[in-house]
């Protein structure tokens, strides 16, 4: 099935209005972060991005401000824009909020999703598995992240889909900083178990499996500060 995302609109023509162009730039940067092509701390050169998209620096700056509101980019005087570097505490808070939202969401999905929607989720799972088999890192990363937003969109709640899209993007950035050797295959298998419960209409099992899945993802991150403070760094071993 086509890859679905709450945050990544289709690329428009160069004649698109300024607002659409700003969205296109922001979406492209978001995609690069989610697919792990832009690392935390990467400097985003305003003029270079303007040249890539053949737009003014003003539109690039507007995209940076949007991404800054989404906590994907940090803006600092004299340093410009950089891909954000989430703290350990921020990482924990993001996963806490995801559990709150997604456990409630999946309970509703178990009661409301139609057989045709379950079939669409099965197709998405097959795409995940195919990307894993061919070692398509960016593809599998996007599909594994999209799974959660796809369910939200199926419920017809665009506000939830948008919020979850932002949280999933931030989770991808967190994974870049704190990821361990977590298996993409294991995540996909957990998605299969969630869809199995949805197909049975078993809200309790679906909620338990989703909560467990998000806990496993968080547990497989090394949520320890990467850079100790100066006192810790100079403390003798």
Query: How many whole angstroms separate alpha carbon 81 and alpha carbon 84?
Result: 9
Of 229, 224, 217, which Cα lies nearest the Cα of 94?
Answer: 217
The terminus-to-terminus CA distance of the chain in angstroms comes to 54
- Sign of the CA dihedral 55, 60, 66, 71? positive
Looking at residue 78, what is its pLDDT?
Answer: 78
Contacts of 39 (CB under 8 A, 6+ apart): 83, 176
Looking at residue 57, what is its pLDDT?
Answer: 94
Per-residue pLDDT reduced to its tens digit, 48-101: 999 999 999 999 999 999 999 989 999 988 789 999 999 989 999 999 999 999
Number of neighbours of residue 85 by Cβ within 10 angstroms: 17
pTM for this structure? 0.75
190, 98 Cβ separation under 8 angstroms = no
Q: pLDDT tens per residue, the chain (237 residues)?
A: 444 444 443 333 344 566 789 999 999 999 888 888 888 999 999 999 999 999 999 999 999 999 999 899 999 887 899 999 999 899 999 999 999 999 999 999 999 999 999 999 999 999 999 998 988 888 888 899 899 999 999 999 999 999 999 999 998 888 878 765 457 888 999 999 999 999 999 999 999 999 999 999 888 887 765 444 445 444 454
Per-residue pLDDT reduced to its tens digit, 148-164: 999 999 999 999 999 99
Q: Following CA atoms 9, 36, 18, 13 in sequence, which dihedral angle do they give, to the nearest 10 degrees? A: -60
Looking at residue 11, what is its pLDDT?
Answer: 33
Q: What domains are defined for the chain? A: 18-83 (1.10.10.10), 88-219 (1.20.120.530)
Number of neighbours of residue 108 by Cβ within 10 angstroms: 17
């Amino acid at each position: 099935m086509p890859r679905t995302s709450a945050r990544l609109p289709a690329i428009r023509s160069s004649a698109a209005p300024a607002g659409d162009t700003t969205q296109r730039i922001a979406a492209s940067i978001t995609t690069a972060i989610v697919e792990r092509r832009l690392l935390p701390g990467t400097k985003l050169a305003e003029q270079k991005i303007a040249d890539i998209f053949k737009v003014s620096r003003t539109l690039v700056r507007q995209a940076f401000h949007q991404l800054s509101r989404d906590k994907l980019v940090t803006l600092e005087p004299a340093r410009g824009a950089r891909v954000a570097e989430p703290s350990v505490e921020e990482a924990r808070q993001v996963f806490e909020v995801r559990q709150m939202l997604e456990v409630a969401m999946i309970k509703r999905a178990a009661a409301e999703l139609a057989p045709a929607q379950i079939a669409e989720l099965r197709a998405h799972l097959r795409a995940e598995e195919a990307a894993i088999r061919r070692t398509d890192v960016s593809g599998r990363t996007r599909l594994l992240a999209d799974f959660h937003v796809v369910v939200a969109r199926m419920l017809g709640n665009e506000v939830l889909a948008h919020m979850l899209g932002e949280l999933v993007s931030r989770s991808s950035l967190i994974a870049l900083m704190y990821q361990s050797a977590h298996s993409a295959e294991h995540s996909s298998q957990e998605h299969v178990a969630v869809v199995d419960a949805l197909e049975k209409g078993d809200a309790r099992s679906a909620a338990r499996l989703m909560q467990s899945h998000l806990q496993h993802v968080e547990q497989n991150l090394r949520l320890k500060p990467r850079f100790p403070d100066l006192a810790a760094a100079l403390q003798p071993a």
